[in-house]
């Protein structure tokens, strides 16, 4: 049973560019949450998608946007990249109701130069 | 509201015990514990849902005091494989998202 799949694994972008990260949730999971993890820090909540809608949003600017598709997969888009956006971006999936915990993907390492 | 974890780092010898604490200023619905090894994704350890609940998983257990909004993770007779960074994740009432603490780096030496 495949867990959470994220692509790409690594990405290098130039300041000002735009990037799209992708996530396929674990089979049976319908909720996707995105997190940004800077080196040596805990994951910071970006937003959560459920039923193709953004259900909750953390303290991130509008440059960060997302989408969830009918098959529950999700995308994270970041516009006008800044050097400070360099981080590991983690996708976590769960069942609505959350009684069984989150399953994380291995992440996408984004470097902005 | 991000939970607060303590200590920031712990170094143990194999067989020693450790306690990691997690606290929040908000009323919590649940507390999750995860372990992340270097370069890998966080791995779910356990979830605690009720006040005063305790759970165990091999030699790793946890408690959750709902009244104090505090949780503790207990690692007994530590093994080399326990090394990694431990994160608590908290769910507040009427909030769908989970917030993580800054993590506790645990190093177990032979």
CA distance B102 to B110: 26
pLDDT at A12: 98
pLDDT at B68: 87
Q: Over the stretch A76-103, which tens digit does the pLDDT of each residue have?
A: 999 999 999 999 999 999 987 655 688 9
Nearest to B91 among A98, A104, A106 (CB): A98
For the residues of B67-100, what is the DSSP string, one character each?
TTTEEEEEE-S--GGG-EEEEEEEEETT--S-EE
Nearest to A45 among B40, B41, B99 (CB): B99
CA of B5, closest CA in chain A: separation in Å? Answer: 10
Answer whether B104 touches A (CB < 8 Å).
no
Answer whether B103 touches A (CB < 8 Å).
yes
Q: Over the stretch B55-84, which tens digit does the pLDDT of each residue have?
A: 666 789 999 988 888 999 999 999 999 999
CA of A81, closest CA in chain B: separation in Å? Answer: 23
> For residue A89, which residues of chain B lie inside 8 Å, CB to CB?
none
Confidence band for B14, pLDDT divided at 50, 70 and 90: very high
Q: Over the stretch A17-46, which tens digit does the pLDDT of each residue have?
A: 999 999 999 998 999 999 999 988 999 999
User: CA distances (Å), B33 to each of A47, B36, B47, in order?
Assistant: 20, 10, 6
Say whether pLDDT at A2 is over 80. Answer: no
Nearest to B32 among A50, A58, A101 (CB): A101
Nearest to B102 among A42, A100, A105 (CB): A42
Place of tokens 């949730």: A25
Q: B87 and A56: CB-CB below 8 Å?
A: no
Say whether pLDDT at B50 is over 70. Answer: no
- A49-62 mean pLDDT: 93
Beta partners for A50? A31, A53
Confidence band for B53, pLDDT divided at 50, 70 and 90: low
Confidence band for B94, pLDDT divided at 50, 70 and 90: confident
Mean pLDDT in chain A?
93
pLDDT at B12: 96
pLDDT at B95: 77
pLDDT at B55: 66
CA of B79, closest CA in chain A: separation in Å? Answer: 23
**Residue B89 has which token pair?**
């994740």
The dihedral of CA A110, B47, B104, B12: what is its sign?
negative
CA distance B47 to A99: 8
Confidence band for B49, pLDDT divided at 50, 70 and 90: confident
pLDDT at B47: 87
pLDDT higher at A69 or B56 = A69
């Amino acid at each position: 049973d495949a867990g959470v799949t994220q692509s790409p694994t690594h990405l290098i972008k130039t300041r000002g560019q735009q990037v799209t990260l992708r996530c396929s949730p674990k089979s049976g999971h319908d909720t996707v949450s995105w997190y940004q993890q800077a080196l040596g820090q805990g994951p910071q909540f970006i937003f959560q998608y459920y039923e193709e809608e953004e259900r909750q949003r953390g303290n991130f600017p509008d440059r960060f946007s997302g989408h969830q598709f009918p098959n529950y997969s999700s995308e994270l888009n970041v516009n006008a990249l800044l050097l400070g956006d360099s981080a590991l971006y983690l996708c976590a999936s769960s069942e609505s109701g959350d009684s069984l915990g989150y399953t994380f993907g291995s992440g996408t390492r984004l470097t902005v130069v | 509201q991000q939970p607060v974890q303590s200590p920031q780092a712990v170094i143990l010898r194999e067989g020693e015990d450790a306690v990691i604490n997690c606290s929040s200023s908000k009323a919590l619905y649940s507390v999750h514990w995860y372990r992340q090894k270097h370069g890998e994704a966080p791995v779910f350890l356990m979830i605690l849902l009720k006040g005063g609940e305790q759970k165990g998983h091999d030699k790793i257990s946890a408690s959750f005091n709902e009244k104090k909004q505090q949780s503790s993770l207990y690692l007994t007779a530590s093994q080399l494989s326990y090394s990694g960074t431990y994160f608590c994740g908290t769910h507040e009432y009427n909030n769908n998202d989970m917030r993580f603490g800054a993590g506790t780096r645990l190093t177990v030496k032979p």
